[in-house]
Amino acid sequence: MRSTLVDIARSAGVSSATVDRVLNNRPGVRERTREVVLEAAQKLGYLPERTGAAGRSGAALRLNFLLPSGTNTFIRELHQRLEEHGRLRPDLEVHVELIEGFNPVSLATSLQRLDEGTAGVGVIALDHPTVREAIRGLAARNIKVVTLASDILHVPRVAYVGIDNRAAGRLAGYILGRFLGNQMPRKIALFAGSLSYRGHEEREMGFRHIVTDEFSNLEIVELREVLDDHEKAFTEATNLLNRYTDLAGIYNIGAGNRGISRALRKSGRASDIVFVGHELTGDNKAFLLDGTMDAIIDQNPRVEAREAINILSSSIWGQPIHSHPPRLEVVFRENIPEL
């Protein structure tokens, strides 16, 4: 049985809310209380105990995380959370490197360049032969690897840390279909960062399947890749809106919601087009509040950062891996949580 926040709270003698604040590195907790909660979480197997060879020697393990650079707000949030959780772990040295996004050669080169001091790697990886071979090379050097947010199959990675992207795509299709109804034909469009990310490809697949199966009145007229860039998203969305004056819905698989929202508002059609996207960033929260976006499918970057660090350190020490993956959450204007 996996331990829960309630189990940790009972063991530490604090509330579940306090445990949540500690595990997600939020303010408002005394240092001694934080230590008690972390100790209880380790004893219950929620966090790995620091008893492996590296822990006994006193040498901190170095973990490297490779994230794509650019304007993706979710990636910036994940970057921040990785560094925050790393600071909670004196047994670890957590380094985050931003590299050129959507370039498999650049990513593979960065992976190959990691030296022998690296014990574990977390990566948002493009599904490309050069990247797969680079990951196999890390495994041959006994460097543990986890994939984040978007998975790669058939490589010796320890784990995938992220949501079920196919399920996320199906969920987006269901929401859009229910908003638009099935009484008359409607045109809808998709945006993606890049389908070279397996996660984006899986979201598209899930979306198309549920639309075909349950909302046959919806016609997908276009899919445009915007490389998670807000300006490119604005240009592509403007062109799309000019071409389809009867467009009824948009699903954005990746980032770029800021650009799409700007195009919708500039066209005067923000209230007429149902817009579903991903990640509850500060911008997207504002778009929900002003009605430009109708629903957000969120994955928690705090959870992903914590799980990636815990899984990597456990695998390096040869300890059992206790995974508590992020869950899909649908956010509307009426249930926006505190960020």
CA nearest neighbour of 143 among 127, 155, 152, 151? 155
| Domain count across the chain | 3
Range of the domain at 116: 58-162+301-326
In terms of average pLDDT, the best of 12-16, 89-93, 217-221 is: 217-221
Same domain, 158 and 170: no
Same domain, 222 and 205: yes
Same domain, 64 and 12: no
How confident is the model over 230-279, as pLDDT tens digits?
A: 999 999 999 999 999 999 999 999 999 999 999 999 999 999 999 999 99
Q: What is the pLDDT of residue 6?
A: 87
How confident is the model over 134-151, as pLDDT tens digits?
A: 999 999 999 999 999 999
Same domain, 200 and 243: yes
Same domain, 188 and 270: yes
Same domain, 243 and 227: yes
Same domain, 6 and 120: no
pLDDT at 307 exceeding the cut of 80:
yes
Q: What is the pLDDT of residue 50?
A: 53
* CATH number of the CATH domain containing 2: 1.10.260.40
Same domain, 190 and 279: yes
pLDDT at 1 exceeding the cut of 70:
no
Token reading at 148? 């984040």
**Could you tell me the pTM of the whole model?**
0.84
Q: Give CA–CA dist 197/136, Å, rounded.
A: 18
Report yes or no: 100 and 42 within 8 Å, Cβ to Cβ: no
Residue of 25 and 270 predicted with greater confidence: 270
* CATH number of the CATH domain containing 235: 3.40.50.2300
Strand-pairing partners, residue 329, are 298
Same domain, 236 and 273: yes
Q: Is 205 helix (H, G, I), strand (E, B) or coil?
A: helix
Q: What is the pLDDT of residue 24?
A: 82
Same domain, 305 and 291: no
Residue 31 Rama label (left phi>0; alpha psi -120 to 50; beta): alpha
